[in-house]
Structure 1
Amino acid sequence: MTSSMESASDQVEDTGALQEPPDPLRWWSLLAVSLATFMTYLDLNVINVAIPTIQRSLHLSEAGLEWIVSSYLLTLAGLLLAGGRLADAFGRRRLYMIGLIIFTLSSLSAGLAGNGGVLIGSRAVQGVGAALLTPATLAIITSTFTDLKERTSAIGLWTVSAAVGLALGPVTGGLITQNIRWGWIFLINVPIGVVTLAMSVKTVRESRASESKLSLDVGGLVTSAIALFTITYALIEGNDAGWSSAKIVTAFVVAAIATVVFFAIEARAVEPMVNLRLFRIRQFTGGISTQMIWAFGGLAIYFFTSMYLQNVLGFSPSKAGLLFVPMAFALAAFAGFSTLMEGWIGGFRTVSLGMVMMTVGLIMLNMHNEHATFASLLPCLIVLGGGMGIMNVPMTNAVMQNTPEAQAGVASALLNDAREVAGLLGITIIGATLRSKQNSELRSGSSPSHAFLSGYHIGLWVATALVAVGIFFTYVMLRPSKNAIPAQLS
């Protein structure tokens, strides 16, 4: 075990050295995997503003409506880690292509769905496709770009594609729903998917773990999937079903047991799915933890700010979505700038600076009330988006550059799962805080909009406090280590 990890770690240590001529098609390969990433992130929230229209069209119940949104996230979060491991074992290009085909075909099925069952099933299959291709994309970038400076730039562009997809989801969904037919929020993925597939066939080269017979670690695959499925299900359904209800308590218990069994299996496995020694590397653990901190605060506030814009300020879905577009451009611009910042002041300082900007943006946002305007909110979201952009690239680098090549797919999956689960956890906890204050205000006679605003402000302060703590956490945890990676994994 030790020798295999040392040999894999030696590959990481030598990553910066060019062992072979750079792939002449590497930038086209980056474009292909970035387009695929853009699609999967777009589909995380493109459906939100189309929900009322879909409900009327398909005559759906409230429960069915919720599962149209939740089914995609449930299969995505539940299978990401398994997808990363399969990519490392069987080839990143192979799993990426399979995932892309599944995602494109299920998008076609979702767009043509004539009833709720077909749409929910198609969304679940979309999540499977996204879970296979998403971790493979970052692993492909890591193996394709052998020069560290180029890799940093490539990861920056990949981050931009994800952020733009996430931010454009609401406005894209709103414009399509209002002007065409709701099915086209999924059908637009089909031509993009076909073009991406054709481009990938020509430009994406195969890579996999250096061990020729890498074990699948079936026990790790199964227990990780069970743990992630059940915790995601509990966080999605807990508020509506009741946190003390039998099915939610059971889901949490199953998740806890599966997690304990997973770690026990990984600690004893000869070829573990996730080598637990990776977490001895401070920068690796710091990067994963940083992802969770910003996702907990940032994604939750993204969710509740959308509600604030529509429920308190009376914005239409399209106008609310449009406000997030400058935020996406700020994220993209600062993500590109962060590659320069990382070279000037170091990755750990750059991430901390991003946390500072996020904290300032959240404080600015919290100064607004029911009289806020599009123009007054714009600077807040630009600062917030800039903070997210400037920290994401060096944070991702901290994880991927401290990961043996054999575990690149799993590391990418861990990063993505950390974001999804922490984002759900943030929505749950901040949402509970918001609703508690909201209900208190309603009982005291406040109007519904004022009650929501009071709860929203409390939720903002919770997110602000967490991100502010993250400033110091990232500064310490992401500081470069004096020890070589092989020594820490041996």
Structure 2
Amino acid sequence: MSLFIVGLDNTIVNVALPSIQRDLHASVSGLQWIIDAYIVVIAALLMLSGSTADRIGRRRTFQTGLVLFTAGSLLCSLSPSLGWLVAARMVQAVGGSMLNPVAMSIITNTFTDPRERARAIGVWGGVVGISMALGPLVGGTLAASAGWQAIFWINIPVGLIAFALCARFVPESRAPRPRPVDPVGQLLIIVLLAGLTYGIIEAPSAGWGSAQTVGCFAAAAIALACLIPYELRRAEPLINPRFFRSAPFAGATVIAVCGFASLGGFLFLNTLYLQDVLGHSAFHAGLLTLPMAGMTLVCAPLSGRIVGAAGPRIPLVVAGGTMVASALILTGLTAHTPTWRLMAAYVLFGLGFGMVNAPITNTAVSGMPRTQAGVAAAVASTSRQIGQSLGVAVTGSLVTSAVHGPLRTGFPQASHLGWWVGAGCGSVILVLGILTTGRWARQTAARTAERLDHGSTRTADTS
């Protein structure tokens, strides 16, 4: 239930953006912040929340997250201005960051057989994928019937029920030896994500060559340059750069960024096109995305079963190919594109996104020592959030910069650039799905796992 509402909240807001824009007088960059303030905070805090749960108790952390997420949802529904809404979304995100790592920790420690664990992760990935795909349909229905505030009301009863069920069924547990706090690493990650996202979103208004934009990108680059050597020197880093010696893990990370960047850009651009260009209501716009949601609903659990039986290559290749095909259809978007062509693109994208989610976590975790599985899964989850935030930021800013004249008339042509970005992301998924799932890739994963096992007995590993 908690994963469902967190995933739902990643996408349910998109279809209500035009309504929020009218009520709160928001700019396009303001709409981007409504989405990305939530995603960036979750991405920045996922690793910290996971280690906190190991230290003070997983159930306690999980319930705290439910309380914050539910309270943030209530504050969102009461927000009188754009600034209040963005702040409330950040409160939501702090709570949301405490839910995913705990759920994955339970799965990886409950299912010890690799085949069973792959299937369990497939179910988990399916819930996330299904909830994110259903978001536009549910959001459109609620926004059209009760106003945009209703998209946040749905979280309140679900959060309260999940809190009660957690108290009843989830036992308290802690890690035997929790990882130490890494405040410097956490700060560097926040600077990296915030600087990069702020610079991209505000660049169309401030100017891509302005001091503000250059300063944001410089701060992000400096944070990354400091983060890697700092984490390599720590015995138990927040994010272990040595993980990336494993080709499957590195590939899963890039695939997660590209797959969810495609999703973020797809939903953001599609919402503006259907409502601001074609003039559809929020409900009608959500209804038009039903083929995408339906395909994800079918393909997400199917992907998990395929991964458990035959490995991640087939779902990743199918995902990359269909996402490229979907984006290529939309590169010819106009104000008069026929509905059947849109439906074809939506079906292909739903198929691709449904297939891509389960292999990400399975590929990231496979080959890692069990003691490192939770951390590896948390990095994969963080990569998903980073990808979605960059998808909204990059495609939104590129398209906004390319619009000439009113949004209604200039958007279709300008959006072509954003769809080409989506085609590029799909191509990366396709190529990495082949390269990082073969024998050579499995050998790099085995070597990395062996080094990590040896490194865990030392104070530091400089190999």
Q: Identify the TM-score tier after normalising by the shorter chain.
A: 0.7 to 0.9
> Which residue does the alignment assign to 1:202?
168
Contact preservation (8 Å) 2:295, 2:351: yes
Question: Which of 167, 172, 175 lines up with 2:141 in the alignment?
Answer: 175
Distance 1:239 1:155 in 2: 40
Contact preservation (8 Å) 2:333, 2:413: no
Question: Which of 443, 450, 453 lines up with 1:487 in the alignment?
Answer: 450
1:312 positional shift = 3.5
1:475 positional shift = 0.8
> Unaligned 5+ residue runs, structure 1?
1-34
1:36 positional shift = 0.8
Distance 1:368 1:244, change over 3 A: closer
2:68 counterpart of 1:105: no
> Which residue does the alignment assign to 2:7?
41
Counterpart residue identity of residue 487, structure 1: E
> Which residue does the alignment assign to 1:86?
52
> Which residue does the alignment assign to 2:273?
308
Find the residue that maps to 1:151 and give its secondary structure: helix
Scaled by the length of structure 1, what TM-score is found?
Answer: 0.81
Distance 1:295 1:178, change over 3 A: closer
Distance 1:55 1:453 in 2: 19
1:208 positional shift = 4.6
Contact preservation (8 Å) 1:88, 1:406: no
Matches within 5 A, 1:45-444: 45-51=11-17, 53-54=19-20, 62=27, 67-113=33-79, 118-210=84-176, 212-366=177-331, 369-431=334-396, 433-435=398-400, 438-439=403-404
Distance 1:296 1:204 in 2: 33
Distance 1:401 1:90, change over 3 A: farther
1:418-457 superposed Cα distances (whole Å, 9 cap, x missing partner): 2232333334444455456544xx6xxxx96564323323
Aligned residue pair count: 448
Distance 1:88 1:255, change over 3 A: farther
Find the residue that maps to 1:271 and give its secondary structure: coil
Bigger mean CA offset, 255-264 vs 244-253: 244-253
Distance 1:465 1:262, change over 3 A: closer
1:116-137 superposed Cα distances (whole Å, 9 cap, x missing partner): 5554432221111112222322
Distance 1:462 1:182 in 2: 29
Distance 1:478 1:421 in 2: 23
Question: What percentage of residue pairs aligned between the two structures are identical?
Answer: 33
> Which residue does the alignment assign to 2:461?
none
Distance 1:437 1:226, change over 3 A: closer
Contact preservation (8 Å) 1:136, 1:412: no
Contact preservation (8 Å) 2:130, 2:300: no
1:284 positional shift = 0.9
Distance 1:242 1:53, change over 3 A: same
Distance 2:397 2:191 in 1: 25
Counterpart residue identity of residue 475, structure 1: I
Find the residue that maps to 1:132 and give its secondary structure: coil
Distance 1:98 1:403 in 2: 29
Question: Which of 470, 474, 477 lines up with 2:429 in the alignment?
Answer: 470
Contact preservation (8 Å) 2:201, 2:397: no
> Which residue does the alignment assign to 1:455?
414
Counterpart residue identity of residue 450, structure 2: A
Measured on the aligned residues, the alpha-carbon RMSD in Å equals 2.9
